[in-house]
Amino acid sequence: MTSFIGKRALASGISLIGLVILVFFLSRLTGDPTNLYLPLDASIEAREQFRDMNGFNDPLIVQFGRYVADLVRGDFGQSLQQARPAMEVVLQAFAWTLWLAVITMTCVTVAAIVIGSLAAFRVGGIFDRLATFFSLVGASAPDFWLAIVAIVIFAVNLQWLPTSGTGTPWHWVLPVAVLFIRPFGLILQVVRGSMISVLSSAYVKTARAKGVRTRPIIFVHGLRNAMLPVITVIGDQAAAILNGAVVIETIFGFPGIGKLMIDSILLRDFSVVLASIMVSALAIFIMNMLIDIAYAMLDPRIRY
């Protein structure tokens, strides 16, 4: 297991280095940020001083070398917009996204596993048909459309919930609810399909023949062996939210890393863009690593 984790960490590190190089040079192609941070009537001398102060007059390869040297020392640069360390800005935004992801995925995982397992126990029944219908609708509905409809109905017309911000628990209801729908539909379908396969196996039929109650058959005998494909989907969906639910965070004005990344690209805040990419990539690499470890814990055969 230690050797496996080491190999995955090495591969992830190489991918992260390549990503940083790519994003660094592509971000510089978006243009000169001087016009965004200085008045339109700023003198040529002021513009040159701004470029010299931030190293924009140097060749790209020199800028990249200086950035790598700063990274080695643990310096991720300064935010042009907020005039403070870029990593401090990113981690503050990432904390909001992390909370949003944890709350959403906890609700999604519990609901999808319970409903998907019960639906698989009686395939073709009314409960199974309703669960399948709503899961397919949820998995197919665009997030941005759901967010706009939710704002119109619950915030504008009914005035039950706020449209943006994070001040109270009510501010979290709409973002979590909208983010809940798509992964819930996807995970429920995977749980249902996997449980149907497991519940039709010989050992489950034997347990039924011996008179074992329904609940232990589903949640003890069946669910453990059905979890491997489910874990993959759960990890992918969690990584997607951690990577920044850009559309949802933008629509609801949620101060997460997705919104920060978009704002930083528009404002050409290069240090924040790079720090956001690095934090998001690290979160995805860690998530994939945890999925692989969970595989080995659920099925010891995978360790060999």
What pLDDT does residue 58 have?
A: 83
Fold classified for 86-303? MetI-like fold (1.10.3720)
**3-class DSSP assignment, residue 91:** helix
Residue 214's φ and ψ, nearest 5 degrees, are -65, -45
What pLDDT does residue 296 have?
A: 67
Nearest to 249 by CA among 174, 153, 154, 138: 174
Structure tokens at 230: 């489910």
User: CA–CA separation, 73 vs 171, rounded Å?
Assistant: 39
User: CA–CA separation, 205 vs 219, rounded Å?
Assistant: 15
What pLDDT does residue 177 have?
A: 92
Cα separation of the two ends of the chain: 9
User: CA–CA separation, 252 vs 280, rounded Å?
Assistant: 20
What pLDDT does residue 180 have?
A: 92
Report the chain (304 residues): mean pLDDT per 10 consecutive residues.
70 81 84 79 82 83 88 86 88 90 92 88 86 88 88 90 84 91 90 81 67 65 73 83 78 86 86 88 82 69 56
Tell me, what amino acid is at 194? S
User: CA–CA separation, 38 vs 254, rounded Å?
Assistant: 28
DSSP for 154-203, please give it: IIIIS--S-SS-SSSTHHHHHHHHHHHHHHHHHHHHHHHHHHHHHHTSHH
What are the domain boundaries of the chain? 2-72, 86-303
Q: How far is CA 2 from CA 177, 294, 296, 303, in A?
A: 39, 14, 12, 11
